[in-house]
Amino acid sequence: MARMGMVFDLKACIGCNACVIACKQENSLPDGVFFTKTLSEEYGVFPMANRVFIPTICNHCEDAPCEKVCPTGATYTREDGIVMVDDDKCIGCSSCSVACPYDQRTQMDAENFLNGLFGKGEITPFEEDGYGRYTPGTVTKCDFCSQRVDVGLDPACVVTCPTNARIFGDLDNEHSAPSKMIRERHGRPPLPEKNTKPKVFYVN
Amino acid sequence: MAIEDKVFSGDTLRSGYRFQRHWDNSMAYAFIFAELGAGMYFVSLLMNSLPGMIAGLVLVSTGKPYFHLAHMGVPSRSWRAMLRPDRSWISRGLLGLGGMIGTGFLYVIALAFGDQLGVGADAGVVGLLKLASATFAIVVMCYQGFAMSHSTAISIWNSAIIPMASLLYSLSLGVAGALILLPAAQAGGLADTQLLLLLGLAIMHVMLLHGGWHGSPGARTSVELLLQTEYAKWFWGLVVAAGIVLPGLILWMAPDSRVLAIISGLAMLSGFCSWRILIFKIGVYEPILSMNPFHSAN
């Protein structure tokens, strides 16, 4: 069985946030809710100062702490390793949010759905159609666009990235693009000391 | 790196420490009601104090569910939280809470109206209720600490000291309640027990601060937040001075005074509430990449 994962090439990421917008569009995310964010970090001292962009996403950990603490079984792992949230079972207790070392979970408050993407309280037909998949009060996160993966497509953020900074594929297949990149460029998971065995890696 | 040099990114798009804000004051109040109520019930049970048991049960069955439901995103589905006791401390706690309230009220009813109901206090079923409610009360006293310490996400919480703190605070507040409610003759010896519990609390705080300071960057940051920022005055003033030192002095110098016992109990409660709120506020997530990979390449 496949073990889907992602690699972020920090040298390629230019911080354009196209992935963030693509994610919001694909998943109809309401105001203030993000499944992926591009963080920035400055380093060095002038005139050698620079900035690195760090894309973040749910790491779909093999030993997912969010799954372990979920009191209802709403969080579960699919056979292909994608960690999912069953909206119908989630009670919005936020124990998964507290347990995630990467702070990658968001509670969908009712207010999130009221503002609209333009923040003026107007809900477009696109939003109206998309919001139906969520229950206000539940906790959500990235699912690697599982609806796209199921039909053989890459996640929206990967397809949109103009610099190929996001590489998605099967980590169990040694010939897949992410496996090769992790091997050749010494990919490193975020916060390995947390022992969550993430399936997202960073290379530079 | 000093605390003022650290980056707290909040909800901005900078890399840095992020405060946990998923469990807010509402959750802190729920924790307070549960630990206070379970402690009062447990100690009152041991001391055969019916008013204390009733007070404990009322606290656990009103404040705890109210604040928990207020925090919950979909309260109408809250019953689902008891479905996974095999892996979640929230589930175990909810079952313990239900068990404590159920068996506790039945035990109190048996004690109060046993004669009319034809059930003696020494009947086997009453003893069973007493044992069950005491066991469930211990679960309620501890489980919130385990729910916090179970995950590695927030380093300062990921410590065996956190459940111990829950237990110690529960017991000490239960003893404080008993010292107020019980007649002096019946409460004899409790003052010494309370002094030992206060000593335990002091040692627990030292251990937590020491462990955090020498622990991961996130744990150290939490300790720095507690000791070097605006939280310091609340920690030293309420948690340490009012919550431990003042009650200790009162119980050492005037263990039999009812008025001072009330003052001591209120001071301990203020220290406990402050501690519960502060431990939520100082919880931080570590930066997503603990070492900038570009630094390591240089």
- Tens digits of per-residue pLDDT, B17-38? 899 989 999 999 999 999 999 9
Q: What is the mean pLDDT of residues A121-132?
A: 85
- Look up tokens 């068990």; give the residue: B99
The nearest alpha carbon in chain A to B286 belongs to: A101
Asked if B152's CB is within 8 angstroms of A71's CB, the reply is no
The nearest alpha carbon in chain A to B87 belongs to: A68
pLDDT, mean over chain B: 91
Which two structure tokens, joined as six digits, stand for B116? 């009319």
> Cα(A69)–Cα(A79) distance, rounded to whole angstroms?
20
* B31 in contact with chain A, both atoms CB, cutoff 8 A: no
Asked if A43's CB is within 8 angstroms of B294's CB, the reply is yes
* DSSP element (H, E) containing A166: strand A166-170
Top-confidence range, A47-56, A137-146, B1-10: A137-146
* B26 in contact with chain A, both atoms CB, cutoff 8 A: no
The nearest alpha carbon in chain A to B19 belongs to: A103
Residue A138: exposed, middle, or buried by beta-carbon count in 10 A (0-12, 13-18, 19+)?
Answer: buried
The pair phi, psi for residue A13, each rounded to 5°, is -65, 125
Which two structure tokens, joined as six digits, stand for B29? 């109040």
Give me the interface pTM, i.e. the ipTM: 0.89
CA angle, B73 then B75 then B80, to 5°: 105
> Cα(B288)–Cα(B93) distance, rounded to whole angstroms?
31
Which two structure tokens, joined as six digits, stand for A99? 């347990």
Treating both helix axes as pointing N-terminal to C-terminal, what angle do B124-149 and B25-47 enclose, rounded to 10 degrees? 150
Q: Are B124 and B130 in contact (CB under 8 A)?
A: no
CB-CB neighbours of A52 under 10 Å:
20
* B5 in contact with chain A, both atoms CB, cutoff 8 A: no
The pair phi, psi for residue B202, each rounded to 5°, is -60, -45
- Tens digits of per-residue pLDDT, B264-276? 999 999 999 999 9
- Look up tokens 């002095």; give the residue: B249
> Cα(B280)–Cα(B25) distance, rounded to whole angstroms?
8
Q: Are A121 and A114 in contact (CB under 8 A)?
A: yes
The pLDDT score that the predictor gives to residue B16 is 84
Report the residue of B6, B19, B69, B77 to disrupt the A interface, i.e. the one with the largest count of A CBs within 10 Å. Answer: B77
The nearest alpha carbon in chain A to B78 belongs to: A91
- The two beta strands, A200-203 and A4-9, are parallel
The pLDDT score that the predictor gives to residue B11 is 66
Q: What is the mean pLDDT of residues A180-200?
A: 93
Q: Are A58 and A77 in contact (CB under 8 A)?
A: no
Inter-chain Cβ pairs, chain A and chain B, closer than 8 A: 148
Asked if residue B167 has pLDDT above 70, the reply is yes
Residue B122: exposed, middle, or buried by beta-carbon count in 10 A (0-12, 13-18, 19+)?
Answer: exposed
Alpha-carbon Rg for chain B in angstroms? 21
Report the residue of B9, B22, B69 to disrupt the A interface, i.e. the one with the largest count of A CBs within 10 Å. Answer: B22
Query: Shortest CA distance to B151 belongs to which of A150, A114, A112, A97?
Result: A97
Distances (CA, A) of A53 to A142, A164, B16, B154, B293: 19, 14, 12, 24, 11
The mean-pLDDT minimum among A39-43, A90-94, A142-146, A200-204 falls in A39-43
Which parts of chain A fold into alpha helices (H)? 18-27, 65-69, 95-99, 110-115, 125-130, 146-149, 156-160, 177-184
pLDDT, mean over chain A: 92
| Amino acid at site A168 | F
Q: Are B274 and B233 in contact (CB under 8 A)?
A: no
* B275 in contact with chain A, both atoms CB, cutoff 8 A: no
- Tens digits of per-residue pLDDT, B224-248? 999 999 999 999 999 999 999 999 9
Q: How far is CA A51 from the centre of its chain?
A: 22
> Cα(B142)–Cα(B149) distance, rounded to whole angstroms?
11
End-to-end CA distance of chain B: 20
Asked if A138's CB is within 8 angstroms of B73's CB, the reply is yes
Q: Percent of chain B scored above 90 by pLDDT?
A: 75
The pLDDT score that the predictor gives to residue B290 is 58
> Cα(B86)–Cα(B78) distance, rounded to whole angstroms?
17
Which two structure tokens, joined as six digits, stand for B234? 């609340």
Confidence of residue B297 (pLDDT cuts 50, 70, 90): very low
> Cα(A59)–Cα(A176) distance, rounded to whole angstroms?
18
The pair phi, psi for residue A136, each rounded to 5°, is -55, 140
Q: Percent of chain A scored above 70 by pLDDT?
A: 100
- Look up tokens 């948690």; give the residue: B239
